[in-house]
Amino acid sequence: MDLNSENKFTDEEYEEIACTSIRNYLNKDMSNDYIKKNYGLAVKRMICKAKETQEAKPTGIKSIVEGDTSISYDDTIDNLIVDCEIKALLPQPYIKMY
């Protein structure tokens, strides 16, 4: 059984997750269309990084040992986060003042 096949996202799902991550990071209510139009490079880079990570190893698994079967789970899954590289492509987050 391929551990990776059950966890694959469609391109639309990757795009939705990237837009949601950017919206949350910027702390501003904006549509996915607005995000894709204005921050398209950040969306594309997040999707590329997520696909590269998912192809490299199964999501959530840090290591697998075959002798006596041992699996370690990763507690820092970073497939679609706004890291330093993505932040460089985005404006500063908005501060909400209530």
Q: What confidence tens digit (pLDDT) does each residue in 58-97 have?
A: 555 666 677 777 666 555 545 568 888 999 999 999 987 7
- Domain map (residue ranges) of the chain: 8-87
Separation between Cα atoms, residue 56 and residue 58, nearest integer Å: 7
Residue 66 has a CB neighbour count (10 Å cut-off) of 6
Which residues fall within 8 angstroms of residue 19, CB to CB, at 6 or more apart?
32, 35, 36, 43
Q: What confidence tens digit (pLDDT) does each residue in 5-56 have?
A: 555 788 999 999 999 999 999 999 999 999 999 999 999 999 998 888 776 6
